[in-house]
Structures are given as structure tokens and as C-alpha cells.
Amino acid sequence: MFPSLYEGFGSPPLEAMACGAPVAASTAGSLPEVCGDAAVLFDAGDAAGIAAGVAEALDRSAELATRGLDWAARFTWDAAAERHEDAYRALGAGA
């Protein structure tokens, strides 16, 4: 469970997925993009929503563990470097 109110990237839930753990995370910041459909998302300001999200993640633990492993495998240092290079080239082309 990751009830963050703000996230710049969201490494902890991604690391949990890479370990095969089912994830329930808040909808704050970058977490929906980082977690994709491999986690249950909830509003961190809603205690009942958090409880429901955790219960759903536990109920779907086998499915989320498999999805999470596949999803986390997409986040590599090589992929991050390629995206940064693309961004720098696009910025340079606009100068």
C-alpha cells in the first residue's frame, strides 16, 4: 500500500511490483502513469477508499503480481536513457 499525497516518480510501488507484490497506490502525482493497470489505485484522502483498494489488491494478488512483474520489467535504465535522449533531441530541434 502506497498512500502518497504527492509523487514525482513513484519508485516504491514500482519496486514492489518488481518483487512480485500486489500494489495498491494513490492516484496522486505520477503514480497512475507509473503503476498503469498493474495496481489498484485509490484516493489517498479517502480512508474508506484506501481500505477498499487494499482489499481489492489482496483479492487480486495473483493477477496483480503477474501484471506487476511484466509492467515493472518495462522500466529499465536503457529505456530511461532513450527517453531522455529523445527529449534532449526534441529540445535541440526547437532551438
Q: What is the dihedral of CA 88, 92, 93, 95, to 10 degrees?
A: 140
Instruction: Residue 75: count other Cβ atoms within 10 Å of its Cβ.
Output: 15
Q: What is the pLDDT of residues 8-21, one digit of tens each?
A: 888 999 999 999 99
Q: What is the mean pLDDT of the chain?
A: 94
- The pTM of this model reads 0.83
Mean pLDDT for 67-92 is 91
* Higher pLDDT, residue 22 or 91: 22
What is residue 8's predicted lDDT score, i.e. its pLDDT? 86
Q: Say whether pLDDT at 83 is over 90.
A: no
Pairing of strands 24-26, 40-42: parallel
What is residue 2's predicted lDDT score, i.e. its pLDDT? 96
